[in-house]
Amino acid sequence: MDIDLIAAIVLKLDAEGEVLAANRAALTFFGDGLVGSKLFDRFVPFEHRRDAHTSLKRVLSGRISERELVELTVTDARNHTQSLLWRIHVRRDDGGEALSAVYTTMDLPDVLDRAHARSLKELADVKHALDASTIVAITDVEGTIVQVNDKFCEISKFSREDLLGQNHRIINSGHHSGEFFKEMWKTIAHGEIWRGDIKNRAKDGTYYWVATTIVPYLDESGKPKQYVALRHEITERKEAEAALVEANRRIREEQQKLIQTEKLSSIGLLASGVAHEVNNPLSGVLACVKALRERKIVAERQDEYFRTALDGLERIQQTVRGLLDFARQRPPSAESVEIAEVLASALRLLAPALRNKDLHIESAISPLDLTAYADRSHILQALVNVLLNAIYASPESAPIYIHGDVSGGRTRIVIRDTGPGIPQEILARVCDPFFSTKPEGEGTGLGLSVTLGLMKSNDGDLDIKSEVGAGAQVALLLPAERK
């Protein structure tokens, strides 16, 4: 038998009174340093030591029967003296020589009695705390409920009689898959602790969420014999999380609406220029086709007229395709994008606006020179938005500078104009929705706000710098490659 399970003090002494072994109760009573010490010299008051040595010698010699009780006065860990009755059992070898003496108290010392009472009080306090804050259920190895606390009954709205003898299917909400519970049972059946969030159904049909920890109790062979489930209600947290997900969904929807609104506004600004880009080559095409149809062209020049008409149609196709590409709505899809190619598309759309003010682009971005990992249509719209602002701000016949670089895993596309610049008190607000410095009717106030949103949705950012009289610089920051 494990002597630590015995409530009384148990000591094993050699013939000289040295403590060879002691149980937990003895260690609690005497304190540290018990094992290996001379019991009578250290824990028996001086005036009682001779009697203690004498009684040990008499027991070892057989002059005192083991059925007799021996009184021994000892000092406990608090330096309090107590007289206790002991039964002494002598262990002997085959020749009858005494090997050791086992001292066992016949009454429970006050200190152990108090320690026992204190342990019971602590257990009662823990139970009270669990009942007040935690939903507790104990099941057997098959999952049958054998014990529940009041908190379980309160939240599930089932009585204790309803629950005992049932399994947890009685509160199954149907929210979780069979695979979910299969994995849970696999974990605890292997003696491991399982943690997770579970949605349950109360007796009245209402639903509630619980953060659950299931602890297996193991038998001597290490296999589960019971399971203790500790749960805390998290229904409000789960509802808040669901509300947050829904709010994020609505925000994304509204963001897409703003993006499309700004895109339509930009198309409106570009429309007259695009019409000009279509009408000019279209007039040439019509003239060539008319001449060819009326057979006014000599045979030697007909190929020349066909090539001219074809060139004009290809210019029209390129312009229309660029506008459709800009206007198209589609789900965002990140990919490796060649910046020079997207910039060329943006500049084709903006060519009429640039010509109207006799502006010219000075770009240091070459084909295959710069790439970013982002949604192509987002980059195109952002470039158009920023370039439209630069065109609006630039004086006639001025340059607009464009360059790019890669640093710290980010691709930077920088657009700089030579306009009047932005005052510092306004600079902090230029990305606010519906904020605009343009005259009423000339802008939606969404351009930079939408552009910032486009950058953020691609794990990027927008950096704007400006000084009055020195123009403005806008940098589009995007991931250089896939993370």
Its pTM stands at 0.42
* Residue 241 covered by a domain: no
User: Do 439 and 303 belong to one domain?
Assistant: yes
Least confident of 80-94, 256-270, 297-311, 327-341: 256-270
- Residue 71: pLDDT band with limits 50, 70, 90: confident
User: Do 102 and 189 belong to one domain?
Assistant: no
* Residue 460 covered by a domain: yes
Domain count, the chain: 3
Among 233, 266, 286, the domain-final residue is 233
pLDDT tens readout for residues 458-475: 899 989 898 888 899 999
Q: Give residue 339's domain range.
A: 246-479
User: Do 256 and 382 belong to one domain?
Assistant: yes
* Residue 365 covered by a domain: yes
User: Do 293 and 212 belong to one domain?
Assistant: no
Among 167, 202, 233, the domain-final residue is 233
pLDDT at 8 over 90: no
- Residue 185: pLDDT band with limits 50, 70, 90: very high
Query: What CATH number is associated with residue 61?
Result: 3.30.450.20
417-421 average pLDDT score: 90
What single-letter amino acid sits at 401?
Y
* Residue 20 covered by a domain: yes
User: Do 211 and 349 belong to one domain?
Assistant: no
CB 447 within 8 A of CB 388: yes
User: Do 295 and 361 belong to one domain?
Assistant: yes
Reduced to 3 states (helix: H, G, I; strand: E, B; else coil), residue 277 is helix
User: Do 217 and 255 belong to one domain?
Assistant: no
pLDDT tens readout for residues 85-144: 888 888 888 888 888 989 988 765 554 555 555 665 676 677 777 777 799 999 999 999
368 vs 86, higher pLDDT:
86
> Could you tell me which of 327, 366, 322, 365 has the C-alpha nearest to residue 345?
322
pLDDT of residue 483: 79
Write the DSSP assignment of 209-267 as a string of letters: EEEEEEEEEE-TTS-EEEEEEEEEE-HHHHHHHHHHHHHHHHHHHHHHHHHHHHHHHHH
CB 38 within 8 A of CB 14: no
* Proportion of the chain above pLDDT 70, given as a percent: 80
What single-letter amino acid sits at 312?
G
State the sign of the Cα–Cα–Cα–Cα dihedral 198, 202, 208, 211: negative
User: Do 251 and 226 belong to one domain?
Assistant: no
Among 205, 233, 261, the domain-final residue is 233
